[in-house]
Amino acid sequence: MDCLLNNNDEKTLKSDTRLDSMGLKSSHTAPILTEPTPRNKSRLQVPSHLLQYSGATFSPRMKAEIIEIRANNCLHSMESSSPPHKKSRDFNNELVATDMDGAYRAWQLKYPSALASFEQITNFAKGKRITLFLDYDGTLSPIVDNPDCAFMSNDMRVAVKNVAKCFPTAIISGRSRDKVYEFVGLTELNYAGSHGMDIMGPVRQSSAGYYDCIRCTDKQGKEVNLFQPASEFLPMIDEVFNSLVNNIEEIQGAKVENNKFCISVHYRNVDEKDWKTVAQRVHDVIRNYPRLRLTHGRKVLEVRPVINWDKGKAVTFLLESLGFSNYDDVLPIYVGDDQTDEDAFKVLREGNRGYGILVSSVPKESNAFFSLRDPQEVMEFLKSLVVWMKKTSTL
């Protein structure tokens, strides 16, 4: 498949509200199906404080009805994540501004541009160590049709490398950790894959004590801590991945991606008339797995374990691993574009710990403080941080 740039803007304020009302917006959603645990299936050895599964019981008929309702709700969410184009063309085929531009400017009053507010951000950083957390897709690389071709530009790579030399930096992605490392290819930063369920971070006694970490060496031979709170789910994820591939990939344009501790079902290239089939088949497969849940991303359905762990928890974990348990000494900044990034924005907003920066070219509700339009603006922001750091260190 060609790696075509897709400029459609996704997820409006309206669609977010709708997701919320269906209980699908936040990653704190209940499992989509709540079946009792079959007796012959052993319980997963996940630390109890991370388990979210409630285990309610339903009759087979109720279960079937729930599946139908969930699949229909899922379809509505898929449809509402496709708002109309924000620009239209006049009779000279020139791009003309639509109401969306005014709406975006109004929205920026609530979520000011991080570039325009750069001084405010750096003033707040005085006496603190900035720590950067970056999402990958839609933040460091533009959204494209083929997920295998979501390459970041060389300019962006240089910007990330430079910023990582100045500040502790981590990438937290929904992708598998290996895949995101393959795309980024920089050794100067830390990586967390599978929406934070696969973290390779620095060795620190504090995080190693509380969390169940594995001490190992990375590809460069450096000693690191590996934290994988959903490792018990690996066989289940592999099983579900195979079943999804068998059931979904025959739908033209559909693609199933194995992200190690979670699975992405992409419908970006599926004809809209077939979206319902995608939703129905995903629900049919995961109905037998009450310990898996479904969340929505950008033209993607995400299947993930029901554990109390997300990108927000990953930020807290990494801050501790980096030695920043005391929030007075650090200013964490998280840049992301997706629904799963909201968990991280929320953690930073609570207690004014740091700043979330939402990457979006359309207005949408968020827990972030600031905004940037697209990866190009993200790159400008990263470059500005480097310039600022160099200037302040020579003062």
Ligand X SMILES: O=P(O)(O)OC[C@H]1O[C@H](O[C@H]2O[C@H](CO)[C@@H](O)[C@H](O)[C@H]2O)[C@H](O)[C@@H](O)[C@@H]1O
Name the residues that contact ligand X, by CB under 6 A.
Answer: 135-138, 143-145, 147, 150, 173-175, 257, 259, 264, 266, 268, 297-300, 302, 338, 340
Which CB, 24 or 125, lies closer to ligand X? 24
Measured from the CB atom, the residue of 86 and 268 that comes closer to ligand X is: 268
Looking at beta carbons only, is 179 or 287 nearer to ligand X?
179
Q: Supply the minimum distance, in Å, between the C-beta of residue 175 and ligand X.
A: 5
As measured in angstroms, the least distance from the Cβ of 220 to ligand X is 23
CB of 107 to ligand X, least distance (A): 21
Identity of the residue, 32 or 389, whose beta carbon is nearer to ligand X in the bound complex: 32
Q: H/E/C letters for each residue in the chain? A: CCCCECCCCCCCHHHHHHHHHCCCCCCCCCCCCCCCCCCCCCCCCCCHHHECCCCCCCCHHHHHHHHHHHHHHHHHHHHHCCCCCCCEECCCCCEECCHHHHHHHHHHHHCCECCCCHHHHHHHCCCCEEEEEECCECCCECCECCHHHCCCCHHHHHHHHHHHHHCCEEEECCCCHHHHHHHHCCCCCEEEEHHHCEEEEECCHHHHHHCCCEEEECCCCCEEEEECCCHHHHHHHHHHHHHHHHHHCCCCCCEEEECCCCEEEECCCCCHHHHHHHHHHHHHHHCCCCCEEEEEECCEEEEEECECCCHHHHHHHHHHHCCCCCHHHEEEEEEECCHHHHHHHHHHHHHHCCEEEEECCCCCCCCCCEEECCHHHHHHHHHHHHHHHHHHHHC
Which residue's C-beta sits nearest to ligand X?
A: 174
Cβ-based nearer residue to ligand X, 379 or 389: 379
- Smallest separation, CB 299 to ligand X (Å): 4
How near is the Cβ of 76 to ligand X at its closest, in Å?
18
Residue nearer to ligand X on the CB measure, 157 or 204? 157
Q: Rounded to the nearest whole angstrom, what is the least distance from the CB of residue 160 to ligand X in the complex? A: 13
- Rounded least distance, CB 348 to ligand X, Å: 16
Residue 117 or 266: the one with the smaller Cβ distance to ligand X is 266
